[in-house]
Amino acid sequence: MANVPLIPNCAKRSGNKSKHDENTPLAIHACLCDTGVMTRANINIIAESLNDSVPSTHELYESGNMEGIRELAKYQDEHGAASIDVNVGSFPAEFFVQVIREVQSATKKPLALDSPDPALIEAGLKAYDDSVGLPILNSISPLRMEMFELYKLKQFRPILLISEGESGACHTADETVESAKLLLSKAKAAGIPNDDLIFDPGVAPIGSDSEGNLVRLMETMRRIHADPAFAGFHASVGLSNFTVMLPPKRKDGSPVRSPLESAFLTRIMPLGLDFVIGSVKRNYEILPDDHPAQQCFDDCIKLGGFDAIMRVRKFYKG
């Protein structure tokens, strides 16, 4: 895989304060190194808006508004997307192919072909112009490993959903790591190098995480990051899921969601997370340890269960 930027050392030191413009999207956000030189924190945004689950996008699909689809793709490209997710839900393969071609006429960024349906992905891979870079396949899990066979048709970079095992959802770090090892072995057998693998450990909403999913995620990333077998791997989460159902603002009028997402990124980026599926409209930064959102996140890791949920409530109500 070519030209995937690496997280600089400054992004791995959570105590560094950021001095970037708060309107700068994460993909081009800079943090302040010890030298005082601005350096990019290279999180790659897989832009999420071309998804049938988004009501305004569904309207574009339903009406066949290809101009609107091209404009949305172009907007995401121009506002920091590293690649653009395309999900057409239950629309047929012919429509998926049409959307892929229209989007590729509007942007030179690689696309993430997003569907659990192997037939739909096969049609999308055949239509995709890989002169702009390998497509991302979103996603393969232990419950649909037959999708590795599509690598024979066209090379791609799979998002490997390791929050699922062969018998269902993973509830512990042990189960999640085992899922990662299984998918790693299947990817190797298919001829896919580590540097083209993007592991997704699954992120749960912090405001309702009574089962310790956040702790499971962090521990999973620590183990994978330390395991030589995974050397060169990449990782991603659906970042918008992390703060779903939380209010937009705190009592003092300051934002709730972006700071908590930034707090998560501050801790998870040093463990290898270098992609997010998210919105280019979000603003993120590497937070210092004494930032209220960072303190909230760190407390949630320590507390767990209902106490963690109450700590999040204290953050946005305080």
Distance of CA 204 to the CA centre of its chain: 13
Which of 246, 232, 263 shows the shortest CA–CA distance to 312?
Answer: 246
Contact, 249 vs 243, CB < 8 A?
Answer: no
Cα(272)–Cα(244) distance, rounded to whole angstroms? Answer: 23
Model-level pTM? 0.88
Contacts of 310 (CB under 8 A, 6+ apart): none
**Backbone CA torsion sign across 113, 118, 123, 125:** positive
**pLDDT tens profile 105-135:** 999 999 999 999 999 999 999 999 999 999 9
Cα(196)–Cα(198) distance, rounded to whole angstroms? Answer: 7
Boundaries of every domain in the chain:
43-317
Q: Is 1 exposed, middle or buried (0-12, 13-18, 19+ CB in 10 A)?
A: middle
**pLDDT tens profile 165-192:** 999 999 999 999 999 999 999 999 999 9
Contact, 38 vs 20, CB < 8 A?
Answer: yes
More confident residue, 222 or 15: 222
Distance of CA 207 to the CA centre of its chain: 19
DSSP run (H or E) holding 160: strand 157-161
- Counting residues of the chain whose pLDDT is more than 90, the rounded percentage is 85
Confidence band, pLDDT 50/70/90 cuts, at residue 282: confident
Contacts of 252 (CB under 8 A, 6+ apart): none
User: Does the pLDDT at position 60 exceed 50?
Assistant: yes
Max CA pair span of the chain: 55
Cα(63)–Cα(59) distance, rounded to whole angstroms? Answer: 6
Cα(278)–Cα(276) distance, rounded to whole angstroms? Answer: 6
The CATH number that domain 43-317 falls under is: 3.20.20.20
| Mean pLDDT in residue range 283-307 | 94
